[in-house]
Amino acid sequence: MGKTLVYVVLLSILGFGVYYFIIRDKDGLYQEAEANFTFRDTANIGKIFLVNNEGKSILLERQADNKWLLNKIYPAMPLQMVNILTCLYMQTALMPVSANEHDRVVKLLAGLSTKVEVYNRSGEKIKTFYVAGQGPNYHGSYMITENAQQAYLVEVPGFDGYLSPRYTVDLNDWRSRTMIDWGLDSLASISIHYPENPSNSFTVINRKGTPTVNIDPSLTSKYTALNVRRTLSYLSFFKNVNAEGYLNGTIGLDSIIAHTRIRCQLKVQNTIGNEKAFDIYWIPSEGMELNDANYPSSMPGQLPVNVERMYAVDVRAKDTLLIQSRTFDKLLRNAPEFYTASPAQ
């Protein structure tokens, strides 16, 4: 019984020593211990700089409104910012890398890592560390503090995965995917032109909540009574319109789009004169020839186009985006719909 008690006391002391000297976060953001990768005061983080060994870099800077700016040009994607700040807040050293693995892991961190610099709102550097790879069974990633000797396996408790993707240096991963975000009070006009069906084209002009819709002159004698309620509802759809992702840099995509028939040209202007313009293209369905004369008409037994997604080219920024039909189909309406009575309730 006495020996058992001695063993228990020794194990307790050893456990406390490991906790105290390796894992414990002594003073939050400014912890200098090599094992501390946790940032408890993420509200005080003002800048994050990521760079890999190839020189690709990402600069994230907090703005006065607490939104983040990417590489001094683009709005950063809010979800991606939540992910990295949550990771910084929760990531914890699980254990030091074993002696048998240490040389391999250090080489990995030296050759394939992402360097992470974290600054506070005053511009002072809080910490620099390196992150790379995947831990055993794809759990956690390896990290080492700048100028430290010991590397650690770092995890986010409760998250079964590795952390290095949170520190990606791919610009497309960080850019906000919001294409248009103007509400009824901000919208001045919306114009949609269908090159293959020009009679369906229209322009909605919004004057302080009083809309008018300009349509093809050939239709004005048939459609005279504007459905104001439907038009105002339509204007509300241009708040928080997002793409699925960026396709910039995709090999061969320019050639594909050059041989793909356009669906429409969309222009949206706000009340202070800012304009967004996108050319929207069909995506051919699998097995469909790009130059098929029937495309995008219906074909027996085969859908001629991808019914779920389309391409969108930002005319000004020259970005190519992948967009979802479920988001854009309610925007890409036809002129007669604005002059058709709503179904009886």
- Is residue 345 included in any domain, yes or no? no
> Which residues have C-beta within 8 Å of that of residue 280, sequence separation ≥ 6?
262, 263, 264, 265, 266, 310, 311, 312, 313, 323, 328, 332
Separation of alpha carbons 13 and 284, rounded Å: 67
What is the predicted pLDDT for the residue at 29?
A: 37
Separation of alpha carbons 54 and 345, rounded Å: 62
- Is residue 1 included in any domain, yes or no? no
Q: Do 187 and 301 share a structural domain?
A: yes
Q: Do 322 and 189 share a structural domain?
A: yes
Q: Do 167 and 252 share a structural domain?
A: no
What is the predicted pLDDT for the residue at 1?
A: 53
- Is residue 16 included in any domain, yes or no? no
Separation of alpha carbons 183 and 233, rounded Å: 11
pTM of the entire structure?
0.78
Q: Do 185 and 292 share a structural domain?
A: yes
What is the predicted pLDDT for the residue at 28?
A: 40
- Is residue 3 included in any domain, yes or no? no
DSSP 147-212: T-S--EEEE-TT--S-SGGGG---HHHHB--EEE---TTTEEEEEEE-TT-GGG-EEEEEETTEEE
Q: Do 325 and 187 share a structural domain?
A: yes
Q: For residue 280, how far is the Cα from the chain centroid?
A: 20
> Which residues have C-beta within 8 Å of that of residue 198, sequence separation ≥ 6?
216
Query: Among residues 174, 209, 224, which one ends one of the domains?
Result: 174
Q: Which domain holds residue 167?
A: 22-174
Q: Do 234 and 134 share a structural domain?
A: no
Judged by phi (left if over 0) then psi (alpha if -120 to 50, else beta), residue 138 lies in left
Q: For residue 339, how far is the Cα from the chain centroid?
A: 37
- For tokens 């254990």, the residue is 95
Task: Judge contact between 208 and 89, C-beta under 8 A.
Answer: no
Question: What is the chain's length?
Answer: 345
Query: Among residues 174, 200, 217, which one ends one of the domains?
Result: 174
Separation of alpha carbons 137 and 161, rounded Å: 9
Q: Do 305 and 201 share a structural domain?
A: yes
Q: Do 122 and 49 share a structural domain?
A: yes
- Is residue 344 included in any domain, yes or no? no
**H or E segment to which residue 112 belongs:** helix 99-112
- Is residue 254 included in any domain, yes or no? yes
Count the domains in the chain.
2
Query: Among residues 174, 195, 212, which one ends one of the domains?
Result: 174
Residue type at 235? L
Separation of alpha carbons 13 and 8, rounded Å: 9
Q: Do 268 and 238 share a structural domain?
A: yes
CB atoms near residue 218 (< 10 Å): 9
Tell me the pLDDT of the chain (345 aa) as tens digits: 555 554 544 555 454 444 444 444 444 433 346 899 999 999 999 999 999 999 999 999 999 999 999 999 999 999 999 999 999 999 999 999 999 999 999 999 999 999 999 999 999 999 999 999 999 988 999 999 999 989 999 999 999 999 999 999 999 999 999 999 999 999 999 999 999 999 999 999 999 889 999 999 999 888 889 999 999 999 999 999 999 999 998 999 999 899 888 999 999 999 999 999 999 999 987 655 544 444 454 444 445 788 899 999 999 989 999 999 999 999 999 999 999 988 764
- Is residue 70 included in any domain, yes or no? yes
Separation of alpha carbons 34 and 31, rounded Å: 9
Judged by phi (left if over 0) then psi (alpha if -120 to 50, else beta), residue 45 lies in beta
Separation of alpha carbons 37 and 87, rounded Å: 10
Going by their DSSP bridges, the two strands 320-324 and 245-246 should be labelled as antiparallel
Q: Do 333 and 203 share a structural domain?
A: yes
Question: Which tokens in the block code for residue 333?
Answer: 């309406």
Q: Do 146 and 124 share a structural domain?
A: yes
Q: Do 197 and 164 share a structural domain?
A: no
- Is residue 283 included in any domain, yes or no? yes
